[in-house]
Chain A
Amino acid sequence: MDTPTHEIELTVNGRRHQAKVPARLTLVDFLRERLGLTGTHVGCEHGICGACTILLQGEAARACLMFAVQANGMEVTTVEGLAPVGELSPLQAAFKRHHALQCGFCTPGMLISATALLRECPQPDADQVRDAISGNLCRCTGYIPIVQAVLDASLEASSS
């Protein structure tokens, strides 16, 4: 059986891309393998681990639970789009200060989930932060420094 392809056009981190994709190509594989944006990680591929979380039209979503063809016409932000190349967003800087990453596998998903939270709720309390990252599994850092980093980034944003 030939694999029919579909033409898609989408914006990723502010850049427009056109591509021909088979329907069964997931968005996360498209980002990593076609666009070379390997910052978005692939973990469980069934929506549990959160490593592939991206912003779709500004809202957090699982890139493993979407086909690239479904993102036609949409705007995607990956971890690479959170700050200009070579710079860190205030949230990323807070992760660094708080040692909120160890192996780094969950980090892109954590950063995206926390970015979505801070946009919607700039002054979250610790419970809200824990809720926002409840769908992102971390196996080594432990969640405490991650929660501290998000709270710190929110305080920094409010004082600047």
Chain B
Amino acid sequence: MKPALFEYVHAESIQQALEELARGDCQPLAGGQSLIPAMNFRLATPARLVDLGGLQQLRGLRLCGNDIVAGAMTRHRDFETDANVRRLLPMLPHALVAVAHVPIRNRGTIGGSLAHADPAADWPALCLACETRMTLRSIDGERSVSAAEFQLGLFETAIEPGELLTEIRFPAWPAQRRWGVEKMTRRRGDFAIAGAIVLLDLDADGVCQWARIVLQGVTDTPFVAAAAQQLMLGRRPDAQLLQQAADAARAAVQPRSDLHASSEYRSELVAVLTRRALQRALAQGASSATGP
């Protein structure tokens, strides 16, 4: 057996899970697709695991007005197949089919991925782009944090000891929001070397009213390229503007170097992927919900 010894508790209710977490020295087990590999390598040696796998109330997608609220135990695969997500947030199914592989997406959860907070992972960047809100519960109550407040650093989040991420709320998109997702991986399903996510709202004259540009896999946390967004506002995008925005995104980050890619290469990718994601968003027929 590869993992170190640990105590296992199968939670029968959210309350029980919260009580276990409150006792300390305890980690939630969600889909296990990041935690269990780390345990198999003994990079993670939790003393106690509280398994959320039986908590059906934490799994599922519901409509709240036009907001979509996801339970933290909702599988990646659930987002791919959900009719409301496909209609209202078509970017998500499009982006998720490029997350790992089907067997991983059948088990991996949005909450687990967010709590793990890998800088190259997709959910943290997608949630930052979508300006989600996260619900954190403990036996003392619950609080809500924005995606921007949620991820604090490399594998570090705002979840305090004793707290459990229970819900992620995706605010409704205005009709005709455009989007583009670009990601560079060595092989299909790998973690991103770098990625760019673009959301754009244009008015009837094609003038940009709102822009969201998020970079992934580049810095310790997903990064909002604010200067690039600012350049887009009030302008009618053309090739020159897209290049300016892409250059601004590149100038805003000092990418990390690791064995997958150098900082210089990531810088170049930021510019190229940002420009391509902007192009994809613009090429999209605004009426099309299926996307590029």
A-to-B contact residues, CB < 8 Å: 1, 3-4, 6, 22-26, 29, 45-47, 50, 53, 56, 59-62, 64-67, 69-70, 72, 113, 116-117, 131-132, 134-135
Query: Contact: B1 with A65, CB < 8 Å?
Result: no
**Could you name 20 residue pairs across A and B whose Cβ atoms are closer than 8 Å?**
A1-B5, A4-B7, A4-B8, A24-B1, A24-B2, A26-B3, A50-B103, A56-B106, A61-B106, A64-B36, A66-B36, A66-B107, A70-B29, A113-B103, A131-B97, A134-B101, A134-B187, A134-B189, A135-B103, A135-B189
Query: Contact: B37 with A47, CB < 8 Å?
Result: yes
Q: Tell me the complex Cα distance, A29–B36, Å.
A: 14
Query: Contact: B4 with A67, CB < 8 Å?
Result: no
Q: Taking the complex as formed, is B286 at the interface, i.e. its CB lies under 8 A from any CB of chain A?
A: no
Query: Contact: A116 with B36, CB < 8 Å?
Result: no
Q: Tell me the complex Cα distance, A1–B145, Å.
A: 40
Q: Tell me the complex Cα distance, A117–B7, Å.
A: 36
Minimum-distance CB pairs A-B, first 4: A135-B101, A23-B8, A46-B37, A60-B103
B-to-A contact residues, CB < 8 Å: 1-8, 10, 29, 32-33, 36-37, 39-41, 49, 51, 53, 77, 97, 100-104, 106-107, 187-189
The distance from the CB of A136 to the nearest CB of chain B, in whole angstroms, is: 8
Q: A4-B7, A24-B5 are in contact. List 11 more A-B contacts (CB 8 A).
A: A1-B5, A23-B6, A24-B3, A24-B39, A45-B2, A60-B106, A65-B33, A69-B10, A132-B102, A135-B101, A135-B103
Q: Identify A45's interface contact among B40, B102, B104, B187, CB under 8 A.
A: B40
Query: Contact: A62 with B103, CB < 8 Å?
Result: yes
Instruction: With CB as the reference atom, state the residue of chain A lying closest to B2.
Output: A45
Q: Tell me the complex Cα distance, A70–B33, Å.
A: 13
Instruction: With CB as the reference atom, state the residue of chain A lying closest to B106.
Output: A59
Q: Tell me the complex Cα distance, A129–B83, Å.
A: 24
Query: Contact: A69 with B106, CB < 8 Å?
Result: no
Instruction: With CB as the reference atom, state the residue of chain B lying closest to A45.
Output: B40
Q: Tell me the complex Cα distance, A145–B53, Å.
A: 38
The distance from the CB of A104 to the nearest CB of chain B, in whole angstroms, is: 20
